[in-house]
Amino acid sequence: MASVSAAASIVKNELRSHEVAIAELNALPSSRTVYQRNGNLFFRTSIQTATSMEQKQLDSAKAKLKNLNSSSKSYARTWVVQ
């Protein structure tokens, strides 16, 4: 159970990181270009492309957190039943 809560904490930090990145990208003028990390390399891209990629990662992290929360609830239910 502790490992699930630790994993959930890590995913929550990841969520916050993506939310901050999206907010920072939205604060930039649309004419700016940004560098997006892809592995160990940075590639120049538009703000719109970087924002959409961050949004996809945010959605993925939300799904992961939802999955962790549902699995921890089912684990708690099985613990009570046994």
Q: Where are the domains of the chain?
A: 2-71
- Kindly report, residue by residue over 62-77, the tens digit of the pLDDT: 999 999 888 776 655 5
Cβ-contact 45, 35 below 8 angstroms: yes
Taking CA atoms, 77 is separated from 25, 43, 82, in Å, by: 42, 47, 9
Collapsing DSSP to helix, strand or coil, 42 comes out as strand
Cα(66)–Cα(8) distance, integer angstroms: 9
- Kindly report, residue by residue over 23-60, the tens digit of the pLDDT: 999 999 988 999 999 999 999 999 999 999 999 999 99
Cβ-contact 45, 34 below 8 angstroms: yes
Instruction: Report the DSSP beta bridge partners of residue 47.
Output: none
pTM: 0.77
Q: Domain 2-71 maps to which CATH number in 3.40.50.20, 1.10.287.370, 1.10.357.10, 3.20.20.110? A: 1.10.287.370
Per-residue pLDDT at 1 exceeds 70 = no
